[in-house]
Structure 1
């Protein structure tokens, strides 16, 4: 992109709104752009031509009906830049490079040690990002780094890209994640809770026609993400949907309420998450540590594993019934390792929902297992960053960085 004429780069100064509409697929033809912006045909043409000349958008051979003569379809050029994303898991870190349209370019993994200092883990990620760029120097790394985005197994203050509160990431509280990466990379830095990242990917990839959706991750831990009017609902501090730590005082017949990893007793996680089911299996003589171990016993038709998964469904159904009454979603999507149990888990959820919710809230409500979607956290982290850098609020800054980078390349 270093060969872009200076006059083309100068023409980008007012093209942000056009780029944003095209990137978000709100308006993908010249007539549609005129209608959305109120700009003249000549002005729209000038700005579209500048974006085309800079390689930020492309024009396909597809035609869109406009009420008059069909117009060519415009789209964001996937090769105009790339994002670097990381998903921090309990035992490993997934790293990836994706295009401007969230298509996978390359990925790698590295081991994560739970007792490692946060700065060490961030250093691992930064080094991994540099390796991805180095190994793909002939492709995406010659383009613009649009953003860095992290998926984290913890409550995240999205606005400030910081972990806060107790989590499985001890020592990360209030760590300046964006500041760390800004020392080595010139791009905005995003951080998001892993379940929210999964929710965004599931919605955009599989349930885009459903504007109000709740995604439940039932794995070793339990969490949820909420889509309201097609937007991710984070709440005031980013912990909206943290259902794993709702305390079920009734305990569904339990004599004593179990202690949760957070230190409290009776949390949903402590009764229905994979680690809790593994605890109960181990106590009964079947060694297990994670949700995968539980599902291995479930697949072998181990009676206690079957009962525990069914009970997990009923506990989740109790919580989901409350969410339905408050949020009135059109679809409940169950993902995570335990979702592999299919109807054994889902029937318990459906049973509790049917018993507790008013018919008006459940009419046409769909409760289903999530379609298989590998690496949802990576794709979700990429999507949230891309949607922001090309949003109407941020796109001008993206264009400025693009023009500055291109001008430096000419020197």
Structure 2
């Protein structure tokens, strides 16, 4: 079987003579390859994006949230307190810090400008757990927490809404509700979190000041407790210690369900990998079906081509062409068409992936490996689905072929 220059030249000439048929052949492969390239690039980008959002927490971060339970047939909501956070920090040997956390949505005002934003009340360990850093200014002190001082830190989005580019917000006064608060720091930009919140569109203040002036709540209650294990390796031990401390503090009898839930960044990462892997497999399966359909299209159109060119095949055989020459001509033609569709699909899929990545703000970076796999798959489809039509052409009887009109 010869796959040299003559076979390629004959294949290209045939493709040029039958432009419409060739276009239909290429189209199926083009769509399939574009789908594979786009799905691969977007799934990697989505995994990278979500992974980056998960990493916005410390690697050893723990999250404790209240959970409603059934007690004696009555559904009772869970409750977390500042005391729970202090007990976790004090008694759990695998935990280095814990911070209660409260959050609401409110309007803030500076002069004639105002904005609606997230207001967070917490304690100093919150910044360690969430990996928030101060770009300008400073954090508040423990004295500010005890005295419920009216100070706060703001995110970059809040700064852009309330201040001119040349203004320094540190030391300025904003009003939250009716209370004036002095800005003592601006936090570094973080972007969107895993839960879809803009981490830069927020005001963070001491939890006592929050309770006294922003949102009057039951004293000591917390929406959530955020904590840090001593290291990523002892995270499971820290979770067990936190659960034991809270069950004792909440006086839960043996066998009773927890009225809280303890999660970790490691669990979020495992869940992200599982979901990402399952979704990628599903989408790649759909793309693979598209490629198979494209391959079937190649085979059908090549079979039609063999039927239409039966007399041509007979003439070539009568002047000395061997069966291997006929086989190689049609097989090369199928591979050229498939590779052409693969190249066009690669360009289309990459362009679509980059466009969607730009629109969604995802870090789409098509890899060389995925491109080579796409082109290799195209060639394999051409060989696999082009072999039957090529073999049928090569096994034609020259005399019968010449009789065909």
Larger helix share, 1 or 2: 2
Please identify the structure whose Cα radius of gyration is greater. 2
TM-score normalised by structure 1 residue count: 0.22
TM-score (norm 2): 0.22
Higher relative contact order (CA 8 A, sep 6+): 2
